[in-house]
Structure 1
Amino acid sequence: MSTAPIISKVWSFCNTLRDDGVGYGDYLEQITYLIFLKMADEYSKPPYKRNVGIPAKYTWPSLKAKRGAELEAHYLSLLRELGARKDVLGQIFTKSQNKIQDPAKLYRLIDMIDEVQWVSMGADVKGDIYEGLLEKNAEDTKSGAGQYFTPRALIKAMVECVRPEPGKSIADPACGTGGFFLAAYDFLTNPANYKLDKDQKTFLKHKTFYGNEIVTNTRRLCLMNMFLHNIGEIDGDVLISPNDALIAPSAQSFDYVLANPPFGKKSSMSFTNDEGEEETDDLTYNRQDFWATTSNKQLNFVQHIRTMLKTTGRAAVVVPDNVLFEGGAGEIVRQNLLKTTDLHTILRLPTGIFYANGVKANVLFFDNHTAAKNPWTKEVWFYDYRTNIHHTLKRKPLRFEHLEAFIECYNPQNRHKRKATWDATKNPEGRWRKFTYGELTARDKTSLDVFWLKDKSLTDLDNLPEPDDLAEEIIENLEAGLASFRQVLAGLGKTVGT
């Protein structure tokens, strides 16, 4: 079943609401509340006959039966009451507000959602619909929603490399809208990969996924996204914690960690000074299980993720370039990561694939191990999918097929039988090569920012991107630079206009 018509219909109504000041994110929130209520109503009927805890006066028919000011007042009361609950229902509706001030338009939205039988629809179909809405929301770069949305092609490629197994736990300490969980779920339920028995299916639904997301609205979207993909129960345990994952060690260890921690180097907290003015201060996590104490958020996530893993655990983590070359705490983290884990693969990513402009990122793949006298990392394989690669969000977005060559080189079935494509004489343009532990630790600051291919755009005019692509890339880089400049000024207690 094609989901495009439903996505288009549901999303097109947002254009009408934007005239009333309802942004993409606010619209998606209202969609979340209403779809959840409609599904709860469907579950209350045969053949399910389940009571999911919604009071009789706040059921879906109660919304359908009202109009005008009466509907608006009833909807506000519903959101307030359901948001006070402690179960999944309360987590979906926590701090919920009605952002649609026109009761007539609210009713039109209710009527549109009422036309779809959500429960009987396949998990893959309704999940794709919601994922489509999340991606459209991420495309609205001004809202900042893109920072919680990792390109699904990249997520799928990472999962294909890690190949999670049934009956094992998967965590993401900064899970955003749940993209890694859904890709792992799709991989595990794919008959080409595994034929799950009853116990494995139960474990997958209830005990496989655990995450943290501190942004309330994003966490709400994640819970709904997972539920629509058949993960968890409408009246079951809450799988996504609202707590800051970096505050303390994880209460349990996991078989896999798949993550793209939030962009930006510094963790910070806001407070009001003695003069009543709001200020920000760098937030440093003093954890005895960390190798280094730093306010660098990305380095802290790398350290935290290593502590989350079982001694046989495996991780795939997206990190910005500074994690690979920064001195001080960065050098300490890299040295310890090479010693205590098998950091076997680094994928260098191009710009133009994230909704946050100008991001230069990489994927670290490492396996945890028990303490040992000698370093666990023997060699690190690098795949350069950045040099002479041009992507833009609109004209040439990243697709899964773009990363298939990397997956083939990674050799997920047996990564110990890899073959380099780079050769100094036979193929100097090869993107896949390895460096030994000794070669890497001999580099200044144990830098893992390794590259060997020549940028042809500097010497070969024929290799330049199309003018439109080049212009879009320049704009992205300028916007990224401006965003960085704003962060610097914000740190100095100043602001800069748009």
Structure 2
Amino acid sequence: MSADFDEKVLYQVCKWMRNDQMIISDYIEQLSGLLFLKACQESPRINQDDLDIPESARWERLVSDEVRREKSILETYDEMINELQTDGELARNAFNNFNNKFGSETTLKNTVDDIESLEFWDHYEGYSDFFGDAYEFLLEKYADKADGAGEYFTPRPLIHAMVEVVDPEYTESVYDPASGTNGFLIAAYNHVGRKTAGEIAGKERKFLNTPEEGANSYAEQLTGRELTSQTYRLGLMNLILHDIDPTEMTSLRGNSLTREVDQEYDVILANPPYGGNGSDKFPGAWAETTAPETNFLQLIMRSLSQTGRAAVIVPEGVLFRGGAEKSVRERLLDQYMLDCILVLPENSFHPYAGVDANVLFFERDAGGTDEIWYYDLRSTVESIKGSNPLTQSHFDDFIRDFGSDRDLVDRFFSVPVEDVVENDYQLNHSQYQEFSATQHRPPAEIAKEIRHEMSSIDETIDSLLSDSQ
């Protein structure tokens, strides 16, 4: 592939729409609709007939000589969208509430031509991770620039860290009840794919060494649900460009909080929405609240299998507020094993959101929690900002040390559950800083000072002995 083939390639395709004064939320959505049709044509794993995409509404029609010479491409695309909204479940979901916002024949034609001529379609099978990265570069731009779009975007380095330490297996089901653009599910799919990879003709292939038990395709183990039509559409596109067939997994559109729990999952990974104007009450809630983050946490706890485990991002308030949040914390410690709280650096979601957050790692365990481990990435880490973005390097040590002897790791400290109970079940790390080794001076610094003092003592003794002679 050429040297100039980089993650900005899809962003560059949008130049015609930007030149036409289309706002970023519109041109990302319009590009996604077109990419959906093109990727369905090109993917070696996805069959357009299986997706029930009508032949008259496929990519081939947009680039056909008939349309280019005899018809309006704008009118043709409108006809295609209408068909996609009425035929085939996946296409209906993907194009639900979708409108053609191209203002001119030239802008649509140039955008379609640029998509058609992208170099990487000839390399789709071997480079699906790259295509996904290029699309996620777009999503990151969208989350940064579009009003309110950052609410569903989770920084990819944090997703990677959470998936790495939770370490899902091929035989385990994975669920995200607020799936957004499907970042967690894609990361879980790729993680398990690498764990089961093998080699064919000198090339690594995912899922070659899978166990006999379990699903025929690992995608069957994945379930996600997303509320908004636009974000759901972006998530479908993200799956397809990562070469994951969305018809093999359970990809749902709707409100997770309005449904009874009718299925349990082995692994749950989530960054639920928070704040806003409140949420629907979760039918399975034992603590009544309108805070969406608290309702989602209750949903996740209810949805874990008997041996299930979860990694969930929560804003700071969940760890110390009274009322419903305290009730949830009580049950979390009494009926689950809260293994670790990852204290994220200040402003970790910059520039998408300005809230401090933590990640809860817990398992379903009727025996409850004996101690809570904290991994502090806030006290000694510079606040995240444009000049200090959140990167994979922020989490490398955490991933490495998560399964090690935590007593030997400075950033880890543990708190007996009895102390938390006595402290009104508050879990915010600042309440327990006296347990943290990072609050003490580094051993090397202390040793250096002792050596200096011993040297001074030796000099004083030598001087006294010299004077006495």
Equivalent residue for 1:367, pick from 356, 363, 367: 363
For residues 348 and 90 of structure 2, the distance between their equivalents in structure 1, rounded to whole angstroms, comes to 33
Q: Deviations over 1:101-132 (max 9, x none)?
A: 11101111111111132644532222222222
Q: Deviations over 1:220-265 (max 9, x none)?
A: 11112112223225xx356222121111223211000000001316
Partner of 1:248: 259
Q: Deviations over 1:396-449 (max 9, x none)?
A: 1111121122223321xxx6x43253xxxxxxxx42100011011110x31001
For residues 336 and 419 of structure 2, the distance between their equivalents in structure 1, rounded to whole angstroms, comes to 17
Partner of 1:10: 10
> 3-state DSSP class of the match of 1:446?
coil
For residues 44 and 209 of structure 2, the distance between their equivalents in structure 1, rounded to whole angstroms, comes to 28
Counterpart residue identity of residue 38, structure 1: K
For residues 56 and 49 of structure 1, the distance between their equivalents in structure 2, rounded to whole angstroms, comes to 9
For residues 373 and 44 of structure 2, the distance between their equivalents in structure 1, rounded to whole angstroms, comes to 53
Partner of 2:233: 220
Deviation (angstroms), 1:76 = 0.8
Partner of 1:495: none
Partner of 1:316: 311
User: 2:127 aligned with 1:122, yes or no?
Assistant: yes
Structure 1 pair 100–393 and aligned structure 2 pair: CA distance change class (3 A): farther
Contact conserved, 2:336 with 2:369, CA < 8 A, in 1? yes
Structure 1 unaligned spans of 5+: 269-282, 422-429, 457-498
Alignment of 1:87-98 (within 5 A): 87-98=89-100
Partner of 1:157: 161
Alignment of 1:171-186 (within 5 A): 171-186=175-190
Structure 1 pair 58–232 and aligned structure 2 pair: CA distance change class (3 A): closer
Contact conserved, 1:255 with 1:310, CA < 8 A, in 2? yes
- Normalised by the length of structure 1, the TM-score is 0.77
For residues 207 and 303 of structure 1, the distance between their equivalents in structure 2, rounded to whole angstroms, comes to 25
Structure 2 unaligned spans of 5+: 198-206, 439-469
Contact conserved, 1:310 with 1:368, CA < 8 A, in 2? yes
Partner of 1:290: 285
User: 2:413 aligned with 1:402, yes or no?
Assistant: no
Partner of 2:114: 112
For residues 212 and 371 of structure 2, the distance between their equivalents in structure 1, rounded to whole angstroms, comes to 38
Deviation (angstroms), 1:191 = 4.4
User: 2:239 aligned with 1:239, yes or no?
Assistant: no
Alignment of 1:7-46 (within 5 A): 7-42=7-42
For residues 356 and 36 of structure 1, the distance between their equivalents in structure 2, rounded to whole angstroms, comes to 25
Partner of 1:274: none
Alignment of 1:440-455 (within 5 A): 440-443=420-423, 445-451=424-430, 452=433
CA RMSD of aligned residues (A): 2.9
Alignment of 1:50-449 (within 5 A): 52-64=51-63, 65=65, 66-67=67-68, 70-116=72-118, 117=121, 119-120=124-125, 122-140=127-145, 142-191=146-195, 196-197=209-210, 203-233=216-246, 236=247, 239-264=250-275, 266-268=277-279, 283-285=280-282, 287=283, 289-354=284-349, 355-369=351-365, 371=366, 375-411=367-403, 417-421=405-409, 430-443=410-423, 445-449=424-428
Contact conserved, 2:217 with 2:248, CA < 8 A, in 1? no
Partner of 1:276: none
Q: Deviations over 1:1-41 (max 9, x none)?
A: 58973543431343442343322222222222212222333
Partner of 1:424: none
For residues 137 and 352 of structure 2, the distance between their equivalents in structure 1, rounded to whole angstroms, comes to 18
Q: Deviations over 1:178-197 (max 9, x none)?
A: 11111111211114888633
Counterpart residue identity of residue 14, structure 1: C
Structure 1 pair 203–182 and aligned structure 2 pair: CA distance change class (3 A): same
Deviates more, 1:315-324 or 1:388-397: 388-397
For residues 13 and 231 of structure 1, the distance between their equivalents in structure 2, rounded to whole angstroms, comes to 23
Partner of 1:466: none
Counterpart residue identity of residue 145, structure 1: A
> 3-state DSSP class of the match of 1:397?
coil
Counterpart residue identity of residue 358, structure 2: N
For residues 44 and 253 of structure 1, the distance between their equivalents in structure 2, rounded to whole angstroms, comes to 32
For residues 3 and 284 of structure 1, the distance between their equivalents in structure 2, rounded to whole angstroms, comes to 52
Deviation (angstroms), 1:366 = 0.3
Structure 1 pair 291–237 and aligned structure 2 pair: CA distance change class (3 A): same
Identical positions, percent: 34
Structure 1 pair 37–195 and aligned structure 2 pair: CA distance change class (3 A): closer
Alignment of 1:487-498 (within 5 A): none
Deviates more, 1:94-103 or 1:110-119: 110-119
Counterpart residue identity of residue 419, structure 1: D
Structure 1 pair 237–432 and aligned structure 2 pair: CA distance change class (3 A): closer
The count of aligned residue pairs is: 418
Contact conserved, 1:204 with 1:231, CA < 8 A, in 2? no
- Normalised by the length of structure 2, the TM-score is 0.82
Partner of 2:452: none
Contact conserved, 2:51 with 2:88, CA < 8 A, in 1? no
For residues 3 and 261 of structure 1, the distance between their equivalents in structure 2, rounded to whole angstroms, comes to 38
Structure 1 pair 192–12 and aligned structure 2 pair: CA distance change class (3 A): same
Contact conserved, 1:148 with 1:262, CA < 8 A, in 2? yes
Q: Deviations over 1:472-492 (max 9, x none)?
A: xxxxxxxxxxxxxxxxxxxxx
Contact conserved, 1:206 with 1:232, CA < 8 A, in 2? yes
Partner of 1:486: none
Counterpart residue identity of residue 365, structure 1: F
